[in-house]
Structure 1
């Protein structure tokens, strides 16, 4: 596999995101829709619809139809920021796609585990629901966000950091076609500013030191990622709506 560069990072991130969300959809038993220009995972009224643009300036006719018939919340990612989705009544914002070349990192300052069992997976699930304020998954149903089958999907790993014996943060990594990517890097409010986010990132990178990594960074997360060697490659446009949406 050729070295990932800043120029091709958005495309590599798009492909990895599609692999990750297809794995998530399969583990949840949701419909996975593959088209040349996009991948969609059509869930239920709580999980909603996830669409991942795979090519710049993708045709939008089927995307618009899927969004308008969505059973629940809509989330759409365009890492190229090149597809015209102005016909949709969705909130939009931009976040940077970032790339980190392979290389070692300092060991984490707290215990970080690769999640292997049900209790740790549930604790990671709860930490991320709280960390991202995912009210769509409330009231809580164990295994709805992260079914046990997710850990059986090729390339998927969940990492969790323990502070004072309690899982206080987690992330998910997806390895596909020689590239790793991070998803759901988060900590609940009570564990923030205590080094948990850094620990879970460092722990996951330590486990996979020979791979380049991409991610899409929030404004608050970007300084942490830059301190770990991630560099901005391009701006990705994200869209969100409550659904179902009608013409």
Structure 2
């Protein structure tokens, strides 16, 4: 068997997470050569998910397979991730969103945090004047037995119902996930997801208040980092960095993989992540389109 490239490692992690979630929910799945699809249940607020995992030998043939599946599933809401720029779904009513770098970090020590900068006179915080706060990453897991908090910010692995609820709320409000506002417990992260083996939830608190969160998925070969979010009023304080550092320290022997947002990419590069490809995200329906009819699937 050919060794997987770093990009393939990241693709497989993303696909594997959705397939695992489908197993918890009882959702139908379908896989082909170089792709995996999940038919998220109606009423869950989740689009049907498709992840391309390998570069197709014949893009036209792959497009035909996927379109046939969408019609079979009566797909009315779709999210498809193509890290190879292989398919063009625009003629089927899909919209291409902003491309996102797919990044991978090899195992290794987490770079030390650069010194903070004090806020400008009057307390203004801007691109060159970030409020200085004491930050410490504290990982609390089954093997840790708890840990004392040092400094103003702590990062814990969410374990209690209250902590898991805080993770979900911060992700919805901090990302933000507009269709899920106002936040409602279990609407974004159902209870079954929270206890899925390989999935871990991380919560950052500032002076005891939840301010940041993310989720990680360990598939045995890599650890994927998803939903890195900080509440708007607490950004530019190094909180996202401490979340990432906690995940990396909890998985010292695993490559880490993620898809970077425009705002997050500089941080990930500083932490040692390297771009392996650029993913095109296709969604259906496109912005401004009306609700599709029963035969309008792409």
Normalised to the residue count of structure 2, the TM-score between the two structures is 0.74
* Residue of structure 2 in register with 1:47 after alignment: 46
Structure 2 contact 180–188 (Cα < 8 Å) conserved: yes
Shift of the 66–137 alpha-carbon distance from structure 1 to 2, 3 Å rule, reads: farther
Cα distance in 1 for partners of 2:25, 2:175 equals: 19
Give 3-state SS (helix, strand or coil) of 2:187's partner.
coil
Cα distance in 2 for partners of 1:230, 1:104 equals: 12
Structure 2 contact 28–39 (Cα < 8 Å) conserved: yes
Cα distance in 2 for partners of 1:192, 1:131 equals: 10
Moved more, 170-179 or 11-20: 170-179
Structure 2 contact 21–193 (Cα < 8 Å) conserved: yes
| 1:44-100 Cα distance to aligned partner (Å, 9 max, x none) | 24212111112212512342245463244x211112222343433222231111111
Structure 1 contact 90–241 (Cα < 8 Å) conserved: yes
Which among 201, 212, 224 is matched to residue 181 of structure 1? 224
Moved more, 39-48 or 114-123: 39-48
* Residue of structure 2 in register with 1:131 after alignment: 174
| 1:6-49 Cα distance to aligned partner (Å, 9 max, x none) | xx122111111011112233334433333333222222242121
Give 3-state SS (helix, strand or coil) of 1:98's partner.
strand
Which structure 1 residue ranges, 5 or more long, are not aligned?
Answer: none
* Distance apart, 1:139 and its partner CA: 4.5
The structure carrying a bigger strand percent of its residues is: 1
* Distance apart, 1:241 and its partner CA: 2.8
Structure 1 contact 11–79 (Cα < 8 Å) conserved: no
Corresponding position: 1:33 with 2:37: no
Cα distance in 1 for partners of 2:3, 2:164 equals: 33
Which among 88, 110, 119 is matched to residue 162 of structure 2? 119
* Residue of structure 1 in register with 2:242 after alignment: 199
Structure 1 contact 27–147 (Cα < 8 Å) conserved: no
The RMSD of aligned alpha carbons is 2.5
Which structure 2 residue ranges, 5 or more long, are not aligned?
Answer: 113-135, 138-150
* Distance apart, 1:199 and its partner CA: 1.2
Shift of the 70–131 alpha-carbon distance from structure 1 to 2, 3 Å rule, reads: farther
Corresponding position: 1:11 with 2:8: yes
* Residue of structure 1 in register with 2:273 after alignment: 230
Which among 76, 80, 84 is matched to residue 76 of structure 1? 80
Structure 1 contact 98–216 (Cα < 8 Å) conserved: yes
Cα distance in 1 for partners of 2:239, 2:26 equals: 31
Shift of the 26–71 alpha-carbon distance from structure 1 to 2, 3 Å rule, reads: farther
Shift of the 227–14 alpha-carbon distance from structure 1 to 2, 3 Å rule, reads: same
Which among 49, 59, 63 is matched to residue 60 of structure 1? 63
Considering only CA atoms, is the larger Rg found in Structure 1 or Structure 2? 2
Cα distance in 1 for partners of 2:6, 2:255 equals: 10
Cα distance in 1 for partners of 2:161, 2:277 equals: 37
Normalised to the residue count of structure 1, the TM-score between the two structures is 0.87
